[in-house]
Amino acid sequence: MKYVLVTGGVVSGLGKGVTASSIGVILKACGLRITSIKIDPYLNTDAGTMSPFEHGEVFVLDDGGEVDLDLGNYERFLDIKLTRDNNITTGKIYQSVIDKERKGEYLGKTVQVVPHITNAIQEWIERVAMIPVDGKEGPADVCVIELGGTIGDIESMPFIEALGQFSYRVGPGNFCLVHVSLVPVLNVVGEQKTKPTQHSVRGLRGLGLTPNILACRSTKELEDNVKEKLSQFCHVPAANIITLYDVSNIWRIPLLLRDQKAHEAILKVLNLERVDSIAREPKLDEWVARATIFDTLHDTVRIAMVGKYTGLSDSYLSVLKALLHASVDCRRKLVVDWVASTDLEDSTAIEVWHSSLVFNVLSLEGADGIVVPGGFGDRGVQGKILAAKYAREKNVPYLGICLGMQIAVVEYARHVMNLTDANSTEFDPNTKTPCVIFMPEGSKTHMGATMRLGSRRTFFKIADCKSSKLYGNVTYVDERHRHRYEVNPDMVPEFENAGLQFVGKDDTGRRMEIIEIPNHRYFVGAQFHPEFKSRPSKPSPLFVGLIAAASGQLDRVLQDCSNGHVVAAKHVLSNGSYTSTVHQNGHPKKLANGLSNGTYYANGNGVHA
């Protein structure tokens, strides 16, 4: 097994996750099998209980693991299926060591950070690296490890020490360290500054790790004299200094690495440059075509994203990626209008605009489609209900995900069935009309890993529905879930008599998975999260349906699916930039990085101009 470690210096948010994913892409394109591990130094056991504002979205894996969003990048870039153990946290390591201590496995020993914690980290890496993630038998050839945070962080010290020992343990030729750092350009002088990277590398070397390759983030390509200076002071060959400068879309990053011969540098460090079965040049034709096609898209499709975490785009990263995949599948340039659901609520609307109608027109009327993604808690719920009502009444394509589906059910009960007090017990435990209820197997005392999580099977009950056609008229699909509440099965007959179709159910037939309004252009809700399995070459069918309906192509897409062209199995070249307009509290919101409304380019961790 060969290992590539990706670390970051100077500041966070440089794009270590995208860099690690792109390294995996070029090595895979050379013919190697790749697996990935993400190390997060926080004490949480997993990301499940973290606020999206704190850490971005929680990505859910097939086995129910609630993990860091970078594992979503790995799965999308490499088209692999990871496990919960591919995300290592300080909490998991300490918990495993303490459990062993309680069992007496260290009997007679004083349990310490070194060697017990550091050994546990190394053993975890070696064990997980051997797990196949690409559907083939046997372990991968290369494991790409990303160390979260920034070099010098106190909480990452045990991992730095463990990785230093690990590099010695696996020996030369089996370990390659790629350090991602920042080379800023000061506007005053217009000069690329190397001192931050010099200090970062000096700190890394002082901790026992020596970088083999430098990946330098900058606004433009590094000048030759800057590379020579970095080479001299960081003790890295100039040929091994790669520039990660700003590009038009995320799919050009593997091409950047290829063009600068990053694969040759990595293969040389890993003693793989003379292996006959490994291609000398990565085969990235699909990536070239994908990046080029996206950059040439002009016809737009506007999607209103109505959520409660709109202040941070990373909160809905997988939803954004799924929309991008579907948009390019339909040959449309995606424009996202961010709408804070609290802004749609009557009290806010009256206060800001003196009329909820005026605000609704401002926020939603220009949208070709509406997405209400998942979430927890009652803040902004009324605004989401208003968004679902607007989509239903105005015949605007709608996709509700998890909570978005439950919201649609509540809205239908209130305004179509005239059950004015209909609600979810999540928001009103004493409601007289509980349309959505707490699942019997859930826990009300423990929050972490107690939801209905991971891949579950959904059976189609109505063969002629839009969802079934989009999935290729299959009898069932496996999608990933993350929820505590469900549609009240006792009210299902009442809903069906009123015209709401439950077209997808679980194997028992009592858990509702997909809803549709049959006489609507496209009104679909899913209890599962289809965005987690969307891939650039295999876009999520439900998202393709939304974009197709929003751009007037749904009939053609459904016809293609009926003719055997399954959305999820097509070869599609996709992804790239999107335009984003943010609405919050009735006004355009300035993003945290200082950018206001305009054109943004998607990367693995958010938006960069």
Supply the residues annotated as catalytic. Answer: 402, 529, 531
Tokens of 469: 């056609």
Q: For the packed helices 381-394 and 356-364, what is the interaxial angle rounded to 10 degrees?
A: 70
Q: What is the DSSP string of 351-392?
A: HHHS-HHHHHHHHHTT-SEEEE----SSTTHHHHHHHHHHHH
**Which is nearest to 56 in space by CA: 457, 478, 607, 553?**
607
For every residue of 153-205, which 3-state class applies, written as one string? CHHHHHHHHHHHHHHHHHCCCCEEEEEEEECCEECCCCEECCHHHHHHHHHHH
State residue 512 phi and psi, 5-degree precision.
-80, 130
Q: In the sheet where 142-147 sits, what is the strand order?
A: 87-89, 34-40, 142-147, 2-8, 175-182, 213-218, 241-245
**Cβ-proximal residues to 21 (8 Å cutoff; 6+ apart), any chain:** 36, 70, 73, 74, 76, 77, 78, 144, 604
Amino acid at 2: K
Six token digits for residue 558: 């459904």
Tokens at 12, concatenated: 């966070």
Q: Is the separation of the CB atoms in 323 and 543 below 8 Å?
A: yes
Give the 3-state secondary structure of residue 462: coil
Between CA 92 and CA 158 the distance in angstroms is 13
CA 279 to chain centre: 30
- Pair of tokens at residue 221: 């390509």
Q: Token match 């059910």: residue?
A: 409
- Please give the Cα distance from 138 to 566 (Å, whole number): 30
Q: Output the six-digit token pair for 312.
A: 């941070």
